Amino acid sequence: MTRFVSIGECMVEMAPQGKSGQYAMAFAGDTLNTAWYARRLSPDWVVEYATAVGYDPVSDQMVDFLSDAGIGTDFVRRVDDRTLGLYLIALRQGERHFSYWRGQSAARIMAQDGPFLLRAMHDADVIYFSGITLAVQEGSGRDKLLDAVARARTRGKTIVFDSNLRPGLWDTPRQMCDWVTKAAALSHVVLPSHDDEARHFGDKDALATRDRYVALGASTVVVKNGPGLIHYQHDGARGVTEPAVVSDVVDTTAAGDSFNAGFLTAHFGAAEIEQAIHAASNVARRVIQGRGALVAI
């Protein structure tokens, strides 16, 4: 039985419902999405979500949502005078645009309590976090988060990192790249997306993205590349695979998050590396044929 601990921010999502002008509320967030899909793909896994929320009704609703989804809430930290972050989706000519309100988010101070993070990671087999997890931390939170990850690694935990580059969450692109590099250097498995990496790190192709993370010490790197070829390296072996073909894309939200869940559940379920990538690609294919971040698969 694998114990998987995902660390990050779960937000309130307000999504438009057709042309009615009404919105529906849901919960989503990159690391939460991956935990949600992992729980469905591997029911025998113990999946925990580590975050922080307030004491208000919407925070209670989010915790109930996690519990109902079979995701453990023992490491959901409660804090005073904070609540959940919120984002609103606007549709313009069929494209989704996002507006965010994060100033009140309890997850921004999650890592201020270093012992909380250490407790969350203590019994984990696999620890998963992202560049967004890092980006939203206030004050010394980023240092404390990476310190806890480093300690977990020394105790034999497997560290998985999705760089998930979001420059709007950082003071400067250079700051973002520096922190993402620090996080990747602590990780066994890195799951970047080439388009973002090329834009901010200047990688000329997916191979360059793969090789840069391998050079930082990752033993497994799988470079997501939209509909393009997926380049990987695992335990010194390099290769390339083709993603599943999708002709009827409805909504690409959570494509990468669901890919990560598909890959990790297959990979840590003893699948060969290319089998795990194909499984991940098939999960993402099904997800982008549905609407929203969390799609029944």
Sheet-wide strand order for 86-92 = 23-28, 11-16, 86-92, 95-101
Q: Are 245 and 222 in contact (CB under 8 A)?
A: no
- Return all residues near 94 (Cβ < 8 A) that are at least 6 apart: none
Q: Strand runs (DSSP E) across 29-84, as ranges?
A: 46-53, 76-78
Q: Are 279 and 266 in contact (CB under 8 A)?
A: yes
Beta bridge partners of 189: 160, 220
Q: Are 142 and 133 in contact (CB under 8 A)?
A: no
Q: Are 173 and 200 in contact (CB under 8 A)?
A: yes
Beta bridge partners of 6: 49, 128
Q: Are 91 and 85 in contact (CB under 8 A)?
A: no
User: φ, ψ for residue 64 (rounded to 5)?
Assistant: -65, -40
Based on the residue annotation, tell me whether 113 is a catalytic residue of this protein. Answer: no
Rounded-to-5 percentages of helix, strand, coil across the chain: 40, 25, 35
Q: How far apart are CA 46 and CA 166, in angstroms?
A: 29
Catalytic residue among 162, 196, 203, 257: 257
Q: For residue 16, what are the CA distances in angstroms to 52, 66, 166, 293?
A: 27, 23, 23, 14
Q: How far apart are CA 206 and CA 274, in angstroms?
A: 17
Active site residues: 257
